[in-house]
């Protein structure tokens, strides 16, 4: 019976393995993890973490924003994209507001909307474009504009990540018939394309019939290694480790049949042009892996599907072979019985949004945190510090609160 559960996904992986290994700089020796998401364990917070911190983001007339659409964490800052105010905000690591980049009034001119930003943590720069799609704007971390680059003169893209001061990797997604680029990844030094990886086959020319991971998720995931990133793509259960010199399948995830795509999902013509519709009709199917981070023996990831009741965020202890659902972690005294995972839309979309310095980060709205505070007031000891001040203000319109988590070894 167990063999039947996994045989469908093995075929899907085998096809991917066969065509991809033709690239000489690509190493395929993945760690295979067989996972039954429906039987993931729960745990108490103190069994999973040795530190849980809530960091209120300063709220004033300059810093007030709606919700976190994108979060990046550097050595010094939380960098946040807010779609409501169409701005990129900088807060220091204690939550104090530092500065912001204004994208312009999107109501007056929707072409000014910032959909995403990219950071170069090595040069302490941030770049973005607007829906006008004419320029990339480059700012330093003090929110001072450094450069405006015409789109046609740059190889930058919204799906890219820096690997050093000058090197970056871009994801080309699944192909369209007639595309000149024939690989999923392209590597650049400055503006020069010096390498590609993960070449396309005919099965990868899906002509837009692709369901991407939810939220504002990037296909690249920084997890504290200065030279290596994780990369994932839809309809693929591999987690790739990408550096400036190689692409390696670090992990291959195998799901049980109730969550796994059909083995022939990319090859069989019966799905041609109907893959997104198939996923709408089968919301339990995992169509993408995202939000992947590695801390010690713990692999963190998000399994994306269309079922709103599905638990999406997981931690797998590779050494202990133990799968834990973040959504099943119960609050305890480590967090004053306040939640680090909840059923709100933001958590389902963003989940564990960033990883830096051995910590992972998510966020919670002021309203959700205050509601939880009153619901659990009889369980905990007195709260002190900035978090106590947040609750005394009792303002559900305050900025969101960053949650900082450190996993036990």
CATH number for the domain harbouring residue 133: 2.130.10
Distance in angstroms (rounded) separating the CA atoms of residues 217 and 161: 13
Distance in angstroms (rounded) separating the CA atoms of residues 287 and 276: 9
Q: Helix 366-375 and helix 385-393: axis angle, to 10°?
A: 90
Domains: count for the chain: 1
Range of the domain at 345: 2-407
User: By C-alpha distance, which of 291, 262, 255, 348 is closest to 39?
Assistant: 255
Q: Where are the alpha helices (DSSP H) in 134-208?
A: none
pLDDT one digit per residue (tens) for the chain, 409 residues: 444 444 444 444 444 443 343 343 555 578 999 999 999 999 999 999 999 999 999 999 999 999 999 999 999 999 999 999 999 999 999 999 999 999 999 999 999 999 999 999 999 999 999 999 999 999 999 999 999 999 999 999 989 999 999 999 999 999 998 888 899 999 999 999 999 999 999 999 999 999 987 554 679 999 988 789 999 999 999 999 999 989 999 999 999 999 999 999 999 999 999 999 999 999 999 999 999 999 999 999 999 998 888 888 999 999 999 999 998 999 999 999 999 987 665 666 678 999 999 999 999 999 999 999 999 988 888 898 999 999 999 999 999 999 999 999 8
pLDDT recorded at residue 7: 41
> Which residues does 321 contact at the CB level (< 8 Å), separation at least 6?
none
Tell me the whole-structure pTM to 2 decimals.
Answer: 0.90
Name the E strands within 144-287: 145-150, 160-162, 167-171, 183-189, 192-199, 220-221, 229-231, 238-242, 247-255
pLDDT recorded at residue 160: 95
How does DSSP classify residue 303? E
pLDDT recorded at residue 24: 37
Distance in angstroms (rounded) separating the CA atoms of residues 400 and 107: 23
Tally Cβ neighbours within 10 Å of residue 329: 23
How does DSSP classify residue 381? P
Whether residue 216 contacts residue 69, with contact meaning beta carbons closer than 8 Å, is answered with yes
């Amino acid at each position: 019976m167990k063999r039947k559960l996994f045989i469908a996904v093995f075929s899907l992986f085998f096809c991917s393995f066969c065509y991809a290994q033709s690239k000489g700089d690509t190493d395929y020796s993945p760690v295979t993890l067989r996972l039954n998401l429906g039987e993931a364990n729960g745990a108490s917070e103190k069994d999973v973490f040795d530190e849980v911190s809530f960091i209120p983001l300063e709220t004033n007339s300059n810093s007030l924003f709606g919700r976190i659409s994108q979060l990046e964490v550097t050595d010094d800052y939380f960098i946040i994209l807010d779609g409501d105010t169409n701005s990129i905000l900088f807060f220091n690591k204690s939550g104090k507001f530092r500065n912001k980049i204004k994208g312009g009034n999107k109501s007056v001119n929707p072409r000014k909307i910032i959909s995403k930003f990219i950071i170069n943590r090595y040069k302490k720069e941030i770049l973005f474009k607007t829906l006008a799609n004419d320029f990339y704007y480059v700012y330093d971390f003090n929110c001072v504009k450094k450069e405006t680059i015409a789109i046609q003169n740059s190889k930058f893209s919204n799906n890219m990540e820096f690997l050093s001061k000058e090197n970056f990797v871009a994801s080309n997604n699944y192909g369209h018939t007639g595309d000149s680029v024939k690989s999923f990844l392209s590597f650049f030094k400055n503006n020069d394309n010096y390498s590609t990886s993960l070449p396309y086959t005919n099965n990868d020319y899906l002509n837009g019939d692709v369901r991407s991971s939810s939220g504002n998720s990037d296909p690249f995931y920084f997890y504290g290694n200065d030279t290596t990133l994780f990369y994932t793509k839809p309809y693929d259960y591999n987690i790739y480790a990408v550096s400036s010199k190689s692409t390696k399948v670090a992990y291959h995830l195998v799901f049980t049949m109730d969550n796994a795509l059909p083995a022939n999902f990319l090859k069989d013509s019966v799905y041609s042009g109907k893959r997104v519709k198939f996923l709408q009709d089968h919301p339990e199917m995992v169509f993408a892996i995202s939000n992947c981070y590695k801390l010690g023996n713990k692999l963190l990831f998000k399994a994306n599907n269309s079922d709103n009741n599905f638990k999406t965020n997981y931690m797998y202890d590779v050494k202990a072979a133990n799968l834990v659902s973040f959504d099943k972690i119960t609050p305890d005294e480590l967090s004053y019985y306040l939640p680090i995972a909840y059923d709100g839309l933001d958590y389902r979309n963003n989940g564990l949004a960033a990883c830096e310095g051995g910590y992972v980060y998510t966020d919670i709205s002021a309203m959700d945190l205050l509601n939880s505070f009153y619901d659990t007031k009889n369980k905990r000891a007195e709260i002190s510090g900035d978090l106590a001040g947040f609750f005394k203000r009792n303002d559900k319109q305050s900025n969101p609160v960053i949650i900082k988590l450190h996993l036990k070894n």
